[in-house]
Structure formats: structure tokens, C-alpha cells
Amino acid sequence: MSTAVAQNRGLGAAIWDYLTTVDHKKIAHLYLVSGGLFFLIGGLEAMIIRIQLMEPSNNFISAGLYNEMITMHGTTMIFLAAMPIIFALMNAVVPLQIGARDVAFPFLNSLGFWLFLFGGLILNISWFTGAPDAGWTNYAPLSTTSPGHGVDYYVMGLQISGAGTLIGGINFLVTIVNMRAPGMTYMRMPLFTWTVFVTSTLILFAFPALTVGLFLMMFDRMFGSAFFDVALGGNAMIWEHLFWIFGHPEVYILILPAFGAFSEIFSTFSKKRLFGYSAMVFATVLIGFLAFMVWAHHMFTVGMGPIANSIFAVATMAIAVPTGIKIFNWLFTMWGGNIRMTTAMLWSIAFIPTFTIGGMTGVMLAAAAADYQYHDTYFVVAHFHYVIVGGLVFGIFAALHYWWPKMFGQVLSEGLGKLTFWLFFIGFHLTFFIQHFLGLIGMPRRYWTYQEGQGLELGNMISTVGAFLMAIGTLVFLYNIVQTAVKGEKVSGDPWDGRTLEWAIPSPPPHYNFKQTPLVRGLDALWVEKMEGKNGMTPAEPLGDIHMPNNSILPFLMSLGLFIAGFGFIYQVDNKMWLILVFIGMGITLGSMLTRSVKDDLGHHIHKEDLEKGAGE
């Protein structure tokens, strides 16, 4: 093969390019766009929920539709918005930070994305036929007895999408273990890469629990088994355990990369290396480990007994220690620094008090007996939004502003960024701070409506107003993206005076990332070189041919096949004719896999001469 990269930039060619790409940077774009779209859908669902709760005994939407809204809001935000945007950042940044030309398995990277996307489409198509309505936790027997096909969509959608995530996680695990540039020992890895490493490990262990749970649910609903049916000797608690064995690590899967992004941003914009780097790494690993030990704190009121409740309570409280270490290390990274208030930094700074509040309520929730009051109330809703929005969404906004120039070669408008920030930040606290109190004065979670005279009117009203501010903030952010793209001002490779390897190459990077693999001589590799007065990295190898993988449409086809088969599985309950779709879909998938197995695809080389001419970018 030659150096052929699509020169024809027609729309069709561009679409074909994205459908077939195995380039981690383009896959990052795909994840970002689709995750962003799902984020908007999830946000719209949230707004509908808040409008319904604006006043007592409201009838804006029906009770059944409301349950579909809360279910889809939770599911969409966790699985279809947060996860893919995290994956977008991982794809955009990690290979660059470790000085690699690509990920370990480019084909699988693409497959992971398409599986996620088609799973997400299945979930959202359910809006046209009746969406899942048993909550994002989908507890049996409410889910197993839920009429219609809503829960079937949930099961199929998440199964396909979850397979994609598992594949993606394994890919990053291998990438980080195997593809670091010479000299980059584990203890010289940037913290974002570290957190992605731990997150990938968590994915590897947590997602199979979800897979198993979803299979059991699928068999119960579609093939007449009775794992969760007490009348036939099953046990509904099995689902709760399986779900939370996955579900608890899941929140750390989401939050750890955000922690990593904050670490990079605090360090860069304070012009200081991260305070207590080794403690930060240790804390990250410890949080990852503890994440698996505490799932039953979601089940204090299930009736596990005081011994189990006490053990899980104390184990949960223990997580506060490594998290606290992180908070103080961030504060001391800024201590003595030279702090620049960029938009990315603003989001990071706002994260500290917000997340501290979320952590505090987390410890309060961990006090098992006290949870008998908090559990399933708006106190919990407030807590996890403080953690997930205050940690993760703030983290995503910070990371996007920080890495946008690296991803797209343009800097987002700082003015609009700050406007977004203030609208969103104020809106966020208005929405969720008050919910702590709504919970304590007796408002349970997932309530479609509340009665007049229960004292819940004011709090709900304030909460709804806040939600509108957040929505406006998000719209400003979208406007910012469009405006920046239209303006099209290009930036240098290193607009923030960065410290890590990704800032050593042009923005956006050429598709082979590094012309020559860099030699890493310490933590914050680029900063080390800068301090010695050099402009870029010292190469670790002479200039030579670069081997790159070929594009392939097969990942798209494999996922499309499963997408088609998914509908066959869902509807074969009504009529066996639907099994035809299962055969067609699985045929496409298995056929694609066979093609992949028998057809040699050795990739292509970018030749030395072309690199010297600066071509191939």
C-alpha cells in the first residue's frame, strides 16, 4: 500500500472515511459527537422531569411516561453520554500522552465505538415503541413484569453497548501496558493516563457482571427462564447484587478519568508539577480497588442484616481517605504556583468545593443506619448529581476546553467558555443543593408528583429554575463550538505551555502522531525538555518508515448485524417470524468476523521520504 490518505474531501468521502476509520483521533471525534448528542437527549429528558415537578400535582406528562423519562435519563447519561465522552478523551489523549503512534488494537477500537453507537440507537428507538420504565437500575421484578418491550430494549441496547465498552477498556489496558515510549516508566506516566489505566481495569472486571445480569434478564423476559421470579424459585435480589457489583465500580470508571484530567489542568495552569504524584497514583489505584468492595452500600435497606451493613458501611467510608488525599494534593499543586484562570482551570477550581460536598454527603450516606433515612430520597439524587455532575461533567467541560485545541486545532472562545461556566455552575447548585433538603423533609426519589401541602413546593420550584440555567449554559457551549469552527483560527501545537507529550506535536496531530518516537526522560516529559531550553522532544529513534493500520468497514458491519439481530430477539416473543431478523443480523456479524479472520490485512507504510516532505498529514 502507498501513503494514500483520502485526498478527495467530498462529503461522501468524509463520511466513508469516518465509517471505516481506525485512527484513534477520528474515533475520538465519533465518540464525542455521538456522546454529545446523547447528552443533549438526556438533558432534554431531565428538563421534562424538572418541568413535571415544578408544581404539586402537575400533569405535564403522565405517570407512565414519567417513569420512562427517569429511566432513560439515567441510562442515557451514564451509558450513552458520560461513558462515550470519557472514551472520546481517552482516544484523543492517551496514545499521545504515552508517545504512541496508535492504540494497541485499532480495529477493536473502531468496533467498540460502533457497538456503543448501535446499542445507544436501540435504546433510543424504544421511544417510538414504549421506552423502559423500571428505573436505570432496572430492579426485578418490576423490570421482569414490566409490560411491553421497553425493558427488552434496555437489555439489548445495554448488552450491545456494554460489549463495546468492554472491548474499548481492554484495548486501552493493552495500549498503556505495551505502547509507552522509551523511558516512560509507570511512574513517569501522566496522571490522566494513570487514571485511564485504572478505569480500563475496572471496566475489565465490572462490565462482565453487567453482561451476566443482562443475560439473565434477557432469558427471563424473552425465553421464559425464572432467575428473578420468586414464584418459580428465583430470587429478585440476584439482580440487585449483579447490577451494583457492576454499578458501583461504574461510577469510579466515570470519575477517575475526570480526576486525571483535573490533575493535568491544575498542574499546567499552576505551572507546577503535580504535588504528591506518587501518592496520587497510589490513591487512584486504591480507589479503584475499593470501588469493588462496597457495592452493597446501595442496598442498606434491602435487609442484609446489621453485620453486612456495618462491613459495607466502614468499607465505603474508607474511600473518603484516598479521595481526600487527592483533594489536598490538588490544593497543594496550586499552592506556591502561578495560577492562570483559563476556562479549563475555572471548571477545575469549581470542581473542588462541589466534589467535596458530594464526597461529604457520600460519607453521610455510608453511615448505614442513617441511610435508612436518606436511601431512595432526593438526598441521594442530590448526592450523586454533586458527584457525577460536579465531578464528571465539570471534568468533561474542563477537559474539552483544555484538549480542544489538540483535538481540533482551534481554541474555544474563552469568553463564551466563562459564560457557559457561570450559567452552568450557578444553575447546577440551584438545582441540586436544595434537593438535599427535599430528601430530608420527605421527598422520595423517582416521584412523578407530590401532593400539595407536603412542604415540597418551593424546593422543587428552585430546582427547576436551576435546571433551566444549566440548559442555557449548555446551549452557550454549543454556540461556542459552532462559532469557533466557523472562525477557524488555527493554533500552535502547544497553546497552554503544556507539560506532557501531547503538546510536543502539532495540533491537530498528523495521523501517525509522532514522526519519531520521543525519548522520555522524566515526569512531565515535555516540561523536562523545555527546562533544558529545547523546543521539542529528543527522538528515541532515527526517522524511518511508519507502519499504520488500514481502514475497515467491518467493525461497522459487525455492529450493524447485532443491531438488526437485537430487534429480532426483542420481537420474537410476539411472533417467531422475527427470528428471521436474528438470522440476517447474526449472519452479517458472523460473516464479517469470518472475513476478518481469513483476509490478511497487513496495513500500510508511510515512507521516510514522504515524512521528510511533511506529507501524509
Partner 1 sequence: MRGWMGKFRSLILFGALTLFLSGCGVENMTALKPEGYGANLLFDLMMISIAIMLFVFIIVMAIYTFVLIRYRQKKGQEDYIPKQTEGNKALEMIWTVIPIILLLVLAVPTVQATFDLADTGAKNDEDAITIEVTGNQYWWHFNYKGQEITTSQDLYIPTGERVYLDLKSSDVIHSFWVPSIAGKMDTNPGENVNSMYLEAFEEGVYWGQCAELCGPSHSLMDFKVIAVSPEEFDQWVKDMQNVDPEAEPKTASAKEGQELFNNNCMSCHAIGSGGAGIAPNLTNFGNRTMIAGILEPTKENLVNWIVNPDEIKPGNQMPANLVSEEEASKIADYLLQLKHSEVTPDSAGDNNQK
**Which 107-146 positions form the footprint of partner 1 (CB under 8 A)?**
133-135, 139, 141-142, 145
Of 1-9, 177-185, 244-252, 357-365, which segment contacts partner 1 by CB under 8 A? 357-365
Site string for partner 1, 418-447 (x = CB under 8 A): ----x---x--x---xx--x--xxx-xxxx
Q: Which three cell numbers, joined as nine digits, stand for 28?
A: 475520538
Burial 340-372 (b: 16+ CB within 10 A, else e): eebbbbbbbbbbbebbebbbebbebbbebeebe
Min. distance of Cβ 443 from partner 1 in angstroms? Answer: 9
Which C-beta is closer to partner 1: that of 200 or that of 464? 464
| Euclidean distance between CA atoms 607 and 368, whole angstroms | 63
Of 79-87, 102-110, 398-406, 449-457, which segment contacts partner 1 by CB under 8 A? 449-457
Which C-beta is closer to partner 1: that of 353 or that of 603? 353
Min. distance of Cβ 434 from partner 1 in angstroms? Answer: 7
Of 250-258, 347-355, 385-393, 486-494, which segment contacts partner 1 by CB under 8 A? 347-355
Prior bond of 508 cis (ω within 30°)? yes
Distances (CA, A) of 536 to 175, 436, 514: 24, 50, 11
Binding residue for partner 1, selected from 178, 310, 483, 492, defined by CB under 8 A: 310
Phi and psi at 330, nearest 5°, equal -65, -45
Residue 93: closest CA among 192, 173, 194: 192
Residue 346 sits in the site that holds partner 1 (CB under 8 A): yes
Min. distance of Cβ 242 from partner 1 in angstroms? Answer: 15
Binding residue for partner 1, selected from 111, 151, 160, 357, defined by CB under 8 A: 357
Site string for partner 1, 63-82 (x = CB under 8 A): xx-xx---------------
Min. distance of Cβ 94 from partner 1 in angstroms? Answer: 24
Min. distance of Cβ 378 from partner 1 in angstroms? Answer: 11
Residue 354 sits in the site that holds partner 1 (CB under 8 A): no
Q: Which residue is associated with the grid cell 479503584?
A: 288
Which C-beta is closer to partner 1: that of 25 or that of 429? 429
Min. distance of Cβ 130 from partner 1 in angstroms? Answer: 13
Which C-beta is closer to partner 1: that of 139 or that of 215? 139
Pick out residues in 317-336 that bind partner 1 (CB under 8 A): 317-318, 320-321, 324-325, 327-329, 331-332, 334-336
- Residue 606 is inside which H or E element, if any? strand 604-606
Phi and psi at 604, nearest 5°, equal -140, 170
- Residue 605 is inside which H or E element, if any? strand 604-606
Q: Which residue is associated with the grid cell 453486612?
A: 308
Which C-beta is closer to partner 1: that of 87 or that of 312? 312
Residue 38: closest CA among 147, 151, 125, 139: 125
| Euclidean distance between CA atoms 361 and 365, whole angstroms | 6
| Euclidean distance between CA atoms 333 and 444, whole angstroms | 40
Pick out residues in 460-519 that bind partner 1 (CB under 8 A): none
Site string for partner 1, 514-553 (x = CB under 8 A): ----------------------------------------
| Euclidean distance between CA atoms 77 and 73, whole angstroms | 6
Which C-beta is closer to partner 1: that of 222 or that of 320? 320
Min. distance of Cβ 555 from partner 1 in angstroms? Answer: 37
Of 155-163, 208-216, 218-226, 301-309, which segment contacts partner 1 by CB under 8 A? 301-309
Min. distance of Cβ 511 from partner 1 in angstroms? Answer: 34
Of 287-295, 354-362, 473-481, 563-571, which segment contacts partner 1 by CB under 8 A? 354-362
The full DSSP string for 434-480 is HHHHHHHTT-BTT-S---TTSS-HHHHHHHHHHHHHHHHHHHHHHHH
Pick out residues in 189-248 that bind partner 1 (CB under 8 A): 230-231, 235-237
The full DSSP string for 509-559 is PPTTS-SSPBPP-SSSHHHHHHHTT-SSPPBSS-S--EEEPPP-SHHHHHH
Which C-beta is closer to partner 1: that of 174 or that of 441? 441
Which C-beta is closer to partner 1: that of 33 or that of 441? 441
| Euclidean distance between CA atoms 469 and 137, whole angstroms | 28
Min. distance of Cβ 30 from partner 1 in angstroms? Answer: 34
Measure the CA angle with vertex 567, ends 566 and 568; round to 5°.
90
Min. distance of Cβ 439 from partner 1 in angstroms? Answer: 8
Min. distance of Cβ 92 from partner 1 in angstroms? Answer: 27
Binding residue for partner 1, selected from 3, 58, 225, 449, defined by CB under 8 A: 449
Residue 179 sits in the site that holds partner 1 (CB under 8 A): no
Pick out residues in 4-63 that bind partner 1 (CB under 8 A): 62-63
Contact 366, 297 (CB under 8 A): yes
Pick out residues in 262-291 that bind partner 1 (CB under 8 A): 270-273, 275-279
Residue 448 sits in the site that holds partner 1 (CB under 8 A): yes
Min. distance of Cβ 444 from partner 1 in angstroms? Answer: 4
Binding residue for partner 1, selected from 17, 55, 376, 601, defined by CB under 8 A: 376
3 state SS for 255-312: HHHHHHHHHHHHHHHHCCCCCCHHHHHHHHHHHHHHCCCCHHHHHCCCCCCHHHHHHH
| Euclidean distance between CA atoms 325 and 249, whole angstroms | 20
Which C-beta is closer to partner 1: that of 369 or that of 577? 369
Contact 588, 557 (CB under 8 A): yes
Q: Specify the pairing of strand 546-548 against strand 604-606.
A: antiparallel
Residue 301 sits in the site that holds partner 1 (CB under 8 A): yes
| Euclidean distance between CA atoms 184 and 97, whole angstroms | 10
Phi and psi at 550, nearest 5°, equal -85, 155
| Euclidean distance between CA atoms 172 and 94, whole angstroms | 8
